[in-house]
Structure 1
């Protein structure tokens, strides 16, 4: 019997950066489920239409994607992995179109912002924001646009048969996005781990957060991320999202036991294998 391909819900369409990240994590033998929003990817997992969700959580230039932290809490699906993807942006044109023909560039607003240094040299070219890098590339192909190009990745160029007019036009060549992989609780049980994503609140007292962070430090855990977000509808109350890494599982287990004494609403969002190579 043929093994079923993993179904991975992505925000955006095929050849988007989410699909590229999914290929990097799972390999290309997967079925991607296109979704219009991050919430829809979680709904697909909840409905068992998808086996996994891959979701951007932070970018090295734009910072944390805060609404996605709320989704982690609201749906409570475990994080089972991470992947870092270099964001490389190219100017893609309908075959035969030359650079001097270009009057308009379309792409996702963040992608356009990341290429402003390049476009500063061409003030006559108009920048127009679209919903998704890959969707803009697809539009250039579908509508056979001869004066409009898209900013997207090489995956989009290949899938939609577009020419690469200019490569690597992003301003910062060390730009990357971190994605989290989530699944249902049954699949999560088989994961070996040396990293965890945690969420908790601390009392609104002097030194309360420092006490928790000191426990991690004394247990020799590396804290690779901390992010705070206000608790909806509650003044002066915050959720803290923290990523910790360890060499010995025992250190981590001991630290968690101690941290529980000083936190409220403590939640382990996921335990997984560190995977931070770009």
Structure 2
């Protein structure tokens, strides 16, 4: 019997996380629905899933900062990444007219991606929820006549809702980047050309610049940098950095030099860059 990959996701069926999981792994997976990102990590830690799919940044709403804390807390290996175009639609029960709508419900990140729409309709009351698809399901289950959800077309189809306004996201080039997390690191593959690392530097002038210059000198491309305060320590920060390279030796040489100027250095994952958006 063929083993089915178990993937923990934040949200329920037809959520963007499930869509990202299918895009990375294919259809032959079992998604484990979780109510929070913390729960997905607990599921993986207990070996009740093989992987976690975790959103880490959106091109409009920015980084999901609490998830960086989870990456550090659980120290899972980043095995890959998925870029998912985000198309957000307004959906309601069949027969419901826009004029009857009083409430709009969705995930806070989805709501932030639709700020221009809400500026046009300030009378609509926003209700935040844990998951886009769950909002669509609630409208169907409770037969809410005065409420619309913001979610994807999969949710509208699954929960038999009508899309009354399409593509309400503020930027039509909207995408979310998801990380693929595994409890233990997979044996190294030859095609890796991207890494996610974290570290601290000393609190003196030019400390971070020195590290970043080393990467530049070795032709290692910095694609993202995110800082997070070190809990309980003033003016101290963790830096989370994504880097890409064409020459593996350059990458390894840069890391050896960077180690001299950093503390708590950690390679969170080495994986193949995903160019598909």
Q: Same fold (TM over 0.5)?
A: yes
1:174 paired residue number: 173
1:203 match: 202
The answer for unaligned runs of 5 or more in structure 2 is none
* Number of the residue aligned with 1:135: 134
**Are 2:156 and 1:157 aligned?**
yes
Alpha-carbon separation, structure 1, partners of 2:188 and 2:14: 30
Once the two structures are superposed, residues 191-220 of structure 1 have per-residue CA deviations (whole angstroms, 9 ceiling, x without a partner) of 441000001111222222111111101110
2:243 equivalent in structure 1: 244
Q: Report if aligned partners of 2:61, 2:113 keep a CA contact under 8 Å in 1.
A: no
Distance, in Å, in 1 between the alignment partners of 2:198 and 2:3 is 34
Q: How many residues align?
A: 276
CA contact under 8 A between 1:57 and 1:178: conserved in structure 2? yes
The 5-angstrom pairing of residues 111-150 of structure 1 reads 111-150=110-149
| 1:89-114 deviation per Cα after TM superposition (whole angstroms, max 9, x unaligned) | 10111123233333332222332332
Q: Which position in structure 2 is the counterpart of 1:6?
A: 5
State how far apart, in whole Å, the 2-side matches of 1:47 and 1:247 are: 36
Equivalent residue for 1:47? 46
Change (3 A) 1:237 1:112: closer
SS at match of 2:127: strand
- The residue that corresponds to 1:91 in the other structure is 90
Tell me how far 1:123 sits from its aligned partner: 4.3
**Do 2:36 and 2:130's aligned partners in 1 also have CA atoms closer than 8 Å?**
no
- For the 8 Å contact 1:200–1:266, the answer to whether it is kept is yes
Match of 1:101 in 2: 100
Question: Aligned pair in 2 of structure 1 residues 124, 274: CA closer, same or farther (>3 Å)?
Answer: same
Distance in 1 of aligned mates of 2:154 and 2:144: 19
Comparing 99-108 with 150-159, which one deviates more in the overlay?
Answer: 99-108
The alpha-carbon distance between structure 1 residues 261 and 119, as it changes in their structure 2 partners (threshold 3 A), is closer
> Structure 1 residues 248, 7: closer, same or farther in 2, change over 3 A?
same
Any idea what SS the aligned residue of 2:120 has? Answer: coil
TM-score normalized with structure 2 length: 0.94
> CA–CA distance in 1 between the matches of 2:56 and 2:275?
13
Q: CA deviation at 1:121?
A: 3.5
Equivalent in the alignment of 1:271: 270
Superposition CA RMSD, Å: 1.6
Q: Which residue of 2 aligns with 1:254?
A: 253
Distance 2:69 2:61 in 1: 18
Corresponding residue SS for 2:94: coil
User: What residue in structure 2 maps to residue 21 of structure 1?
Assistant: 20
Structure 1 runs of 4+ with >6 Å offset: none
2:187 aligned partner: 189
Change (3 A) 1:136 1:254: same
Distance 1:75 1:117 in 2: 37
Q: Which runs of 5+ in 1 are unaligned?
A: none
- Measure how far apart 1:126 and its partner are: 3.2
Give the direction of change, closer, same or farther, for the CA distance of 1:165–1:219 in structure 2 (3 Å limit): same
